[in-house]
């Protein structure tokens, strides 16, 4: 599956914990293009799961996104992005610089999010948290179509996210 992406774009990855957002980001984008709420929490506290640092992590996330978009650099937001209000604030930031926003949602069954989470080597998120995120994901999947993205891509299942080929289109390109 080919995924055409304007360069620059702001790319919002959307999905519960265990959806495969970070795996996808690192497979398809350069490390400096990816801004991760978990990485920022880890930088602040040595613990990517430390929710006490969330407010500061998201503040820094916005500063980094702003700094990169100002420079017209493609930016990937690796966070669950399950709240409409958060997605809206990122769209506003991108609109300030005329940068298109792309949504990539990772839609799997809740048992897949849970089993991937249980099997991960780094950090396991509580089942109740993942289940409630899956509920919010169902709402997000309905809302995304009307939120005004340049494009919305919904990846379902393992093969699809593995087989994706991201094709970048430069600013001067019209195709
Ligand atoms: N397409 C896939 N097929 C099978 N396993 C996968 C796939 N993508 C990721 N995984 C595995 O699932 C686990 C979680 O993946 P990943 O860390 O990318 O999730 P995440 O969406 O970033 O979660 P979080 O929001 O908690 O950071 C990892 O162990 C990863 O190896
Ligand atoms: Mg992750």
How is residue 136 written in tokens?
């919010």
pLDDT of residue 159: 64
Flag whether pLDDT at 13 surpasses 80. yes
Q: How confident is the model at residue 158 (pLDDT cuts 50, 70, 90)?
A: low
* Average pLDDT value for residue range 142-160: 90
Q: How confident is the model at residue 174 (pLDDT cuts 50, 70, 90)?
A: very low
171 C-alpha vs ligand 1 centroid, how far in Å? 31
* Average pLDDT value for residue range 136-145: 98
**Ligand 1 binding residues, C-beta < 6 A:** 15, 17-23, 38, 80, 116, 119-120, 125, 158, 161-162
Flag whether pLDDT at 64 surpasses 50. yes
Mean pLDDT, all residues of the chain: 93
Task: Report the residue among 12, 18, 26 best suited for mutation to probe ligand 1: largest number of ligand atoms under 8 A from its CB.
Answer: 18
Flag whether pLDDT at 124 surpasses 90. no
Q: What is the pTM of this model?
A: 0.95
Flag whether pLDDT at 173 surpasses 70. no
pLDDT of residue 129: 95
* Average pLDDT value for residue range 20-43: 96
- pLDDT of 68-113, one tens digit each? 999 999 999 999 999 999 999 999 999 999 999 999 999 999 999 9
pLDDT of residue 175: 45
Handedness of CA 126, 132, 135, 139 (dihedral sign): negative
HEC profile of the chain: CEEEEECCCEEEEECCCCCCHHHHHHHHCCHHHEEEHHHHHHHHHCCCCCHHHHHHHHHHHHHHHHHHHHCCCCEEEECCCCCHHHHHHHHHHHHHCCCCEEEEEEECCHHHHHHHHHCCCCCCCCHHHHHHHHHHHHHHHHHHHHCCCCEEEEEEHHHHHHHCEEEEECCCCCC
* Average pLDDT value for residue range 140-156: 96
Name which residue leads in pLDDT, 51 or 149. Answer: 149
HEC profile of 83-101: CHHHHHHHHHHHHHCCCCE
């Amino acid at each position: 599956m080919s995924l055409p992406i304007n360069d620059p774009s702001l790319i919002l990855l959307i999905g519960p914990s265990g959806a495969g957002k970070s795996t996808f980001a690192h497979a398809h984008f350069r490390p400096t293009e990816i801004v991760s709420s978990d990485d920022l929490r880890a930088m602040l506290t040595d613990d990517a799961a430390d929710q006490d640092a969330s407010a500061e992590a998201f503040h820094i996330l916005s500063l980094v996104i702003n700094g990169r978009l100002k420079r017209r650099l493609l930016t990937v937001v690796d966070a669950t992005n399950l709240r409409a209000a958060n997605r809206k604030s990122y769209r506003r930031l991108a609109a300030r610089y005329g940068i298109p926003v792309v949504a990539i949602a990772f839609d799997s069954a809740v048992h897949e999010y849970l089993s991937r989470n249980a099997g991960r080597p780094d950090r396991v998120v509580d089942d109740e948290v993942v289940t409630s995120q899956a509920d919010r994901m169902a709402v997000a999947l309905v809302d995304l179509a009307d939120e005004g993205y340049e494009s919305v891509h919904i990846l379902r299942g393992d093969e699809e996210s593995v087989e994706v080929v991201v094709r970048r289109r430069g600013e001067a390109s019209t195709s």
